[in-house]
Amino acid sequence: MVAGLNSVGESVRKNVTRSEWFKKLSKYERPHLGKATWQLINTFVPFIALWVLMVWMLQRHLPYWSIIAPMMVTAGLMVRIYIFFHDCTHTSFFESKTANRIVGAVCGILTFTPFDMWRTAHTAHHNTAEDLDHRGTGDIWTMTVDEYCAAPLPKRILYRIFRNPCFLFGIAAPALFLFVQRFAHKGASERCRRSVVVTNLGLAALLLASHFTIGLRTYLLIQIPVMSMAASFGVWLFYVQHQYEDVYWARHEEWDPIRAALEGSSYYKLPAILQWFSGNIGLHHIHHLRPRIPNYNLQKCLDEVEELRAVKPLTLFRSLKSLFLTLWDERQQRMVTFRALRA
Contact 91, 64 (CB under 8 A): no
> 31-35, 94-98, 133-137, 326-330: lowest mean pLDDT where?
133-137
Does residue 248 sit in helix, strand or coil?
coil
CA–CA separation, 111 and 260 (whole Å): 28
What confidence tier does 194 reach under pLDDT thresholds 50, 70, 90? very high
Q: Output 283 or 10, whichever has higher pLDDT.
A: 283
* CA–CA distances in Å: residue 67 to residues 48, 50, 61, 81, 118: 15, 10, 11, 21, 31
Q: Please state the rounded mean pLDDT for residues 256-262.
A: 90
Helices 115-128 and 97-110: crossing angle in degrees, nearest 10, is 100
| Nearest C-alpha neighbor of 73 from the set 273, 295, 315 | 273
pLDDT at 75: 98
The amino acid present at 43, given as its one-letter code, is: T
How confident is the model at residue 43, as a pLDDT?
Answer: 98
Q: Which residues of 62-94 are buried (b: 16+ CB within 10 A; e: fewer)?
A: eeeeebeebbbebbbbbbbbbbbbbbbbbbbbb
What pLDDT, on a 0 to 100 scale, did the predictor assign at position 1? 34
Residue whose C-alpha is closest to residue 257's, from 128, 89, 143, 137: 128
Tell me: pLDDT of 302 over 90.
yes
Average the pLDDT over 148-167 and give the result: 96
Residue 90 has pLDDT above 70, yes or no: yes
Mean pLDDT for the chain overall: 92
Q: What is the mean predicted confidence (pLDDT) over 234-251?
A: 94
Instruction: Provide the edge-to-edge strand list for the sheet that holds 327-329.
Output: 143-144, 327-329, 334-336
Higher local confidence (pLDDT), 58 or 18: 58
DSSP category for residue 244: S
Work out the average pLDDT over 306-311.
88
Determine contact, residues 286/298, Cβ cutoff 8 Å: yes
The answer to whether 177 and 231 are in contact (CB under 8 A) is yes
Question: Which of 33-47, 123-137, 169-183 is least confident?
Answer: 123-137
DSSP 20-82: HHHHHHGGGG---HHHHHHHHHHHHHHHHHHHHHHHHHHHTT--GGGGHHHHHHHHHHHHHHH
* CA proximity to 204, closest of 182, 174, 225: 182
